[in-house]
Structure 1
């Protein structure tokens, strides 16, 4: 048991957290304050008019206030859950609310992404809270795991309801929002502040996990954490790519969630998603959540007296809800296609006999070929391997993805690695498929099957090559698979 904290130590901690909140707020708003001062000085210098010098910053401040008010009046995200429409989901949330002792008015809304969040809302002048639950969570989690997620989000209200933690959380969020772009020169100040405040953010997450265990049981909480991590990585790694590439063709996948569920059942998708979750880097201390491994290790050793549901919660009108969410992801409004503007994207299917090619699974290595000037995918791979062996991989990565120049310095190594591994793996897959190999599945173009039946995940092969700087294994693979002369 930890020793009791002395009053002096509590006061010291409170003072440190208040100081952090003030410092983060000041740094977050420093570009805006600086802009106001510059505008005022320029106006005075040009017009020698005092009212002009005061008026421009005042107008700027007023416009900022109006934008903030406009954001506050925006409609709530997601689709409302009404007790009569979703009795099973309503009952689950109500049971968790009672066990947590949550007293504030609560609205539940379903959103298309695999998210769960609790936030403040004002409904008819009444201070309330809105609980957002992602459709992918509702579709794939057991009711016990979903109860664990709901308990975690509601527990946050208890953990961050004191004024000091609220201000610290808001100041940290404001600083995170402004890190990119305008705060580039202030990064030396931003990073230490975020790291210092991150400890408190992590403590609230771990405390909410512990409360969730008391409600739903440690097995359900562990399963919910692992499932949420898997869904998040797969959604960003696969789902968002499907949506983006199909949008370029003015289409959208009407069976998005069914295809996403099918992809999650692929063991290579699950393994890749778990790898990405474990490899996530956070050089600036931006993450408000601890790494998944840390959260799993910190779960208290408690019994499983909580929820015991082993099936997903029943969703009434699931087809209509899915259609609504798919259209939200596609940027469409209206009900079941009603009221679509002329030229709106048309629906296509990824599954079934009439299903189209899954985006991103049959690339030809065009990005690498263009960056290297090679005439074929195999030749492009060889040029890339030479660059890796000579330590020139970062320069090649910047040719493949010019936006890497704007990535913050601390994040650049992991971004360079991701670009190199992804682009070279795609080109290598194209070279092998052109020589008798075939894709091992529908969902990942870099998992291929050799003529003898061996399955190879080229992403893993290239990751080892980039990390170790030794391209020998890939050269051997090319020589054995590609016609003589191309991979010499």
Structure 2
């Protein structure tokens, strides 16, 4: 059958097999250098000291690791969705699979975070593909946009079924993991290999995007790509603190996903999230990113119509309330723990047994974010942030601390001030430090600037973001944007002009 997959594969994969296997071998060799070095050390010690048992340590390390990897005993992530229980979702997945030509056994599971993935797992004595769909995607994306996401995942698997492509992706992943952490001794060897193979894996992603467009249409695929980045950035930057803050007060947000969907309707939230996502795409010092930047993915989409008709509204899950409750508790307890962990902890609290998990937290009670005073979510975080700024700048008043920050922007010394807030900046790759320092400095300066403006009568303009303020005359300013521009230009004049308009001034230091 002449499926879209077969047409793209014939046109796209012209990479030399010899070249690919050379890169695969080189990447795996570099990735395993630490283990080889460790093994040589142990063998040398065994020969010198006569402790021959030491020579078996590297071998046992490999055997144990392999047994864990292939045991198949790890629980599947997410919550299972049965076709009888969610026929609309099952029908959508089945229809997309038919369009893509994906005929393997496929299970669907819902996960709490905005992500989608496809992998193989051992189920009931056999192997099956498992499609993971994030609940935020199911709630926000329309059926046609969700079809584009599913088509991308299934098409991607079709493309990497070629033996050397799968090996290439796995080798890159293994090598990229060695570059995590403070110390990256393999970076000089790994980065050139990752950089040379990155176009090859990006080609796979772009081909999967093209297949998604042929299934769901170019417009829906474009919207799905844009919304996915917004969902991830908003979830990480805005929504996750909603879980930590109430939990510290003995509560949990039962309407977490309702509040998340409501926040996405705010233009200030979506603009900030798009900015954060673009910043993330721009920094890839070791070429570890397996996905091209969003702009490149959008530009490469073919202009085609959808192969089938899909709805313009999100799917309604019949078991939506139960799935949402399960996902919220999974987020609170951790991705690898079951929902029963919350019940066990609460039962232990009732019995007066406060273990390591429940110590100091007590029985969690449900609250609704959309009914809370927004200041309850902002309060402690802002107080802690202001206390940190005053401590780092060694000033007693917010106006004095603000003067220190603006002077540092004016004379160019703000990266040093940012390092005082976050000493671990020095461990980042040099190419990542400016963006990270700017983010830290923007957050710290924004905290004290908001404090000064609120003391002058300004108020929060929305319930979601503490940096979006309304002046007494009703005008709205996002001080985050103002400070980003000031840091980029090295000129705090617009910030000082805003302070003058607000009728407040910096205090001398």
Q: How many equivalent pairs are there?
A: 479
Shift of 1:104: 1.2
Aligned counterpart in structure 2 of residue 359 of structure 1, from 377, 383, 390: 377
1:4 — aligned with what? none
Residue 312 of structure 1 corresponds to which residue in structure 2? 314
- Out of 290, 293, 311, the position equivalent to 1:291 is 293
Give the alignment of 1:426-445 within 5 angstroms: 426-445=447-466
Distance of 1:126 and 1:39 partners within structure 2: 39
Find the counterpart in structure 1 of residue 3 from structure 2: none
Matches of 2:182 and 2:428 in 1, distance apart?
13
Aligned to 2:204: 204
CA displacement 1:315-344 (0-9 Å, x = unmatched): 012111100000000016335964334354
2:84 is the alignment partner of 1:65: no
Q: Deviations over 1:8-33 (max 9, x none)?
A: x9887222211111111111111122
1:116 aligns with 2:116: yes
Aligned to 1:173: 173
Match of 1:418 among 401, 416, 439: 439
How far the C-alpha of 1:201 sits from its partner, in A, is: 1.2
Corresponding position of 1:15: 18
Q: What CA distance in whole angstroms lies between the structure 2 residues aligned with 1:485 and 1:382?
A: 5
Task: Please tell me whether the aligned partners of residues 44 and 53 of structure 1 are also in contact (alpha carbons under 8 angstroms).
Answer: no
Please name the residue that 1:333 is paired with: 338
SS of 1:229's equivalent in the other structure is helix
Give CA-to-partner distance per residue, 1:106-129, whole Å, 9 cap, x none: 111000000001111121232211
Please state if 1:397 is matched with 2:397. Answer: no
Question: CA contact under 8 A between 2:213 and 2:302: conserved in structure 1?
Answer: yes
C-alpha distance in 2 between matches for 1:317 and 1:385 = 52
Residue 80 of structure 1 and its aligned partner are, at CA, apart by 0.5
Distance 1:451 1:339, change over 3 A: same
Q: 1:112 to 1:26 in 2, by over 3 A?
A: same
The residue number in structure 2 matching 1:215 is 215
Q: Tell me the TM-score normalized by structure 2.
A: 0.88
Hey, what's the Cα distance between the residues in 2 that align with 1:91 and 1:265?
Answer: 28
1:38 matches 2:36: no
Cα separation, 2, equivalents of 1:249 and 1:34: 49
Structure 1 residues 12, 279: closer, same or farther in 2, change over 3 A?
closer
Equivalents in 1 of 2:447, 2:402: separation in Å? 9
Distance in structure 2 (CA, Å) of the matches to 1:306 and 1:213: 11
Whether contact under 8 Å (1:220, 1:307) holds in the other structure is no
Q: Which residue does 1:379 correspond to in 2?
A: 400
Cα offset, 1:130, TM superposition: 0.6
Equivalent residue for 2:355?
none
Contact 1:382 1:475 (C-alpha < 8 Å) held by counterparts: no
The separation in 2 between residues aligned to 1:293 and 1:182, in whole angstroms, is: 30
Determine the C-alpha separation between the residues in 2 that align with 1:186 and 1:471.
40
1:484 to 1:176, Cα distance in 2 relative to 1, 3 A: closer
More displaced 10-residue stretch of structure 1: 254-263 or 320-329: 254-263
- Shift, 1:394, TM fit: 1.4
What is aligned with 2:276? 276
Cα deviation, 1:72-106, whole Å, max 9, x if unaligned, reads 42111000010111111011101111111112111
Please say if residues 143 and 307 of structure 1, whose CA atoms lie closer than 8 Å, have aligned partners that are also in contact. Answer: no
CA deviation vs aligned residue, 1:341-379 (integer Å, no higher than 9, x gap) = 435451443534445645347714233222111112222
Corresponding residue number in structure 2 for 1:154 = 154
Contact 2:259 2:370 (8 Å CA) reproduced:
no
Whether contact under 8 Å (1:147, 1:307) holds in the other structure is no
Residues 79 and 109 of structure 1 are in contact (CA less than 8 Å); yes or no, is this contact kept in structure 2?
Answer: yes
Runs of 4+ in structure 1 off by over 6 angstroms are: 9-12
User: 1:457 corresponds to which residue?
Assistant: 478
Contact 1:117 1:153 in 2 (8 A): yes
Deviation string for 1:439-468 (max 9, x for gaps)? 111111001011111100011000011111
Residue aligned with 1:184, SS? coil
The answer on whether the counterparts of 1:155 and 1:212 sit within 8 Å (CA) in structure 2 is yes
Distance 1:39 1:376, change over 3 A: farther
For residues 370 and 186 of structure 2, what CA distance do their matches in structure 1 show? 52
